[in-house]
Structure 1
């Protein structure tokens, strides 16, 4: 049975290692005297840690949160992972050019429109050099083509929309037409580019002999233009 010391304190007061701020600690001789305190401690522990069912209820949200965090970290790793070829793995744009198979194909039977809004069958003007002016009026290029075109070869200028361009036609060979439906440009399968005229050379059978994506000086196509008269 516990006995107080000379100062009236219980024997537990002299237990080593107990902080002094705990004050006087009395250890009863009968452990059953601590039953109430033990029950209170167990209740506090259950309240702090939650009931067993609470762990199961929290398990799924915690798992979802863990998966989301791992997914985010994986995405950041992929984005920030250094690559030796970063900045050089983009494909190099191909140069502007019509499809390689266009030469040798037949010109479609297109009806264009003249300045009087009358339909004109394009194949009825062959052989011809057909110049598309939807990207550039290019009067100098038209004048050069008119001067170099041999007898019997038509020079046809084609503009987009319903209004035919009445460009330099003083020599009487150019035929100004409009292409309201855009059929000729669709045949080329290439968009118009500002500042650039495109030309097709078509023989009398309706076969495309050459495509000039960027109509340059007469020297770049003179021989092909002369061959259309044969």
Structure 2
């Protein structure tokens, strides 16, 4: 057991030795004598624990974040699955026709390397006929307009008519300087991105290098393209 203190008191029976700097340890017979020390100790513990509680984030913040994420997901699903009114069957889709102030898509670009077919359904490379004025007659026979082109086309410039499907259009004059071809796949019309218009022929002027120098959305009088034909022959 431990050494007695200055007054001859040793540690209580059954307790281990206590540090000498603690001094004399007195255990009262009545525990209520320690009430004041206990209250002070509790106040001290509460004071030390208060800052820790203040550092905790409020519990409602994660709930708000979760609610915002849930509402965003629901709004996105509603936008995707919201029923749309069906298109009326008696309301056809209208493709805008380019105005005269807007150059067609092929102007200044190479002519697509397309193989068309003649009256015998023999493949004919379109680029092998250049320079040429190519006239699409899938929406209009336009025999008079084609004959006018053939009449003013200079030597060395081909005049080519192109129909859709496999039916080749008859030339305006037997033996005339017009090559009649058909475009079964519709590749030339698709490359132009010009929808057919009734009683209207579209013409392309293509130089010997294969570049589309001009597109005429509606073939008209010869004076509109005579100078272009002359430049193609140069």
Q: Which residue of the other structure, out of 128, 132, 148, is the alignment partner of 1:128?
A: 132
Q: CA–CA distance in 2 between the matches of 1:180 and 1:133?
A: 13
Partner SS state of residue 108, structure 1:
coil
Q: Which residue of the other structure, out of 132, 142, 147, is the alignment partner of 2:146?
A: 142
Q: Alignment RMSD, CA only?
A: 1.9
| 1:199 is the counterpart of 2:178 | no
Q: Which has the larger radius of gyration?
A: 2
Q: Is the 8 A contact 2:135 2:202 kept in 1?
A: yes
TM superposition outliers: structure 1 runs of 4+ over 4 Å = 96-101
Aligned residues: 139
Per-residue displacement from partner, 1:16-63 (whole Å, max 9, x unpaired)? xxxxxxxxxxxxxxxxxxxxxxxxxxxxxxxxxxxxxxxxxxxxxxxx
Structure 1 residue 180: Cα displacement: 0.3
5+ long unaligned stretches in structure 1: 1-91
Q: CA–CA distance in 1 between the matches of 2:97 and 2:105?
A: 20
| 1:152 is the counterpart of 2:152 | no
Q: CA–CA distance in 2 between the matches of 1:169 and 1:205?
A: 29
Q: CA–CA distance in 1 between the matches of 2:126 and 2:102?
A: 20
Q: 1:221 to 1:162 in 2, by over 3 A?
A: same
Partner SS state of residue 228, structure 1:
helix
Q: CA–CA distance in 1 between the matches of 2:107 and 2:159?
A: 19
Q: Which residue of 2 aligns with 1:107?
A: 111
In the superposition, the TM-score normalised over structure 2's length comes to 0.56
Q: Is the 8 A contact 2:104 2:192 kept in 1?
A: no
